[in-house]
Structure 1
Amino acid sequence: MATKNVPAKKSTTAKASTKESKTASKTPAKKDAAKDLSDLFEDGLKDIYWAEKALTKALPKMHKNATEPKLKNAIADHLEETKEHVRRLEGCFKALKKRAQAKKCDAMEGLLEEGKSIMEETKPGAVRDAGIIAAAQKVEHYEIATYGTLAAYAKVLKEKDCLKYLLSTLDEEKNCNNLLTKIADTNLNSKAINN
């Protein structure tokens, strides 16, 4: 049985990506843009330092609005951990022989604003508690991603003191996220159905 040579069709995906690359342009770097991994690492530390400090102000509001005792306890405990996260980040800056400096974190600002909106848009009780958990877990996921990335940078840069601090905080963020899941799964979300 003979096979015919069939001309290959041009991929529509290839056409689309060529068209996109013609219209997309590279983003110009700012004057103070990171030039290497150590600059990127320092920028990331400044970003999460701002985020953790902002979180120390937001967690008491979440605590005040929560009604589920286990959730209130988890938030209170995490507030104390967050204060320690701030101190660890200050330890990182010290290890790098840099002044601890915060740089506004747009991502955390947005997440905290969303959390505030959720509290305003839900009735107190199980529904608001479920919303607080959702908002808190978004924060935790952001922090887990950030601390994981910064720990990877610290490892490559051989910043052992920073790596130790970052990994300790990463573990606590993961534990907090798991606890929030457990609280939501142990009847809280079900209570929110008929609240």
Structure 2
Amino acid sequence: MAIANLTDVYHDQLQDLYSACKQSMEVTTELGRAANNGDLKRAFNDAVQGIVDGMEKVAQLCNDHGIDPNGEHCKGMEGLVEEARAHGLGEDITDEDARDAMIITQYQRMTHYAIAGYGCLRAFANRLNLDDDGAVLSDCLDACYNGDRRMTEIATGGVNQSAAA
């Protein structure tokens, strides 16, 4: 697709974010299974549901604009997923708490990518006077921020301390 205006950028980035979410969902499930801490496992279960919810909302926005949500492949998330698998799952980490700390690190990197995507899309929607889209994207952005904060609380509330011991 040729990019000629902000609407085209918006459509392209909706598709890119859908791809990013789709790619991150599988590895987020894997990271959750590899986690040891009970709170962390629960947070990952909720994170997977949050990703599914976000994907559904982005897919609906794509459909509302007459574009295929599967029209892009996000190379940025592809790299982050590869890193999450290499470091969070494939790395030889002998301490379960240290693995949990690494798992949180890898997940938060992917989450920050999603936060950037949702934030930009919301700004585009607002500029394009797509108020309903902007509200949906604000909800998605808030959910990402909340998930990120929850992971930080789990890390600083015990996982990092246990990993340092």
TM-score range, shorter chain: over 0.9
CA contact (8 A) 2:20 2:74 kept: yes
Equivalence for 2:128: 157
Q: Could you tell me how far apart the structure 2 residues matched to 1:74 and 1:123 are?
A: 22
Q: Give the unaligned 5+ runs of structure 2.
A: none
CA contact (8 A) 1:34 1:40 kept: yes
Equivalence for 2:20: 51
CA contact (8 A) 2:95 2:163 kept: no
Q: Give the unaligned 5+ runs of structure 1.
A: 1-31
Question: What is the TM-score normalised by the length of structure 1?
Answer: 0.80
Equivalence for 1:120: 90
Select which of 44, 57, 78 maps to 1:88. Answer: 57
Equivalence for 1:110: 79
Q: Could you tell me how far apart the structure 1 residues matched to 2:83 and 2:64 are?
A: 34
Bigger Rg over Cα: 1
Q: Which has the higher contact order (CA 8 A, sep 6+)?
A: 2
Q: Could you tell me how far apart the structure 2 residues matched to 1:95 and 1:42 are?
A: 11
Equivalences, count:
163
Q: Which amino acid aligns with 1:193?
A: A
Equivalence for 1:29: none
CA contact (8 A) 2:24 2:110 kept: no
Select which of 10, 29, 43 maps to 1:60. Answer: 29
Equivalence for 2:113: 142
5 Å-filtered alignment, 1:16-31, equals none
Equivalence for 1:14: none
CA contact (8 A) 2:122 2:137 kept: yes
Q: Could you tell me how far apart the structure 2 residues matched to 1:187 and 1:100 are?
A: 39
CA RMSD, Structure 1 to Structure 2 (Å): 1.3
CA contact (8 A) 1:95 1:161 kept: no
CA contact (8 A) 1:49 1:102 kept: no
Answer yes or no: is 1:183 the counterpart of 2:150: no
Q: Could you tell me how far apart the structure 1 residues matched to 2:55 and 2:147 are?
A: 16
The runs of 4+ residues in structure 1 deviating greater than 2 Å are 97-102
Question: What is the TM-score normalised by the length of structure 2?
Answer: 0.93
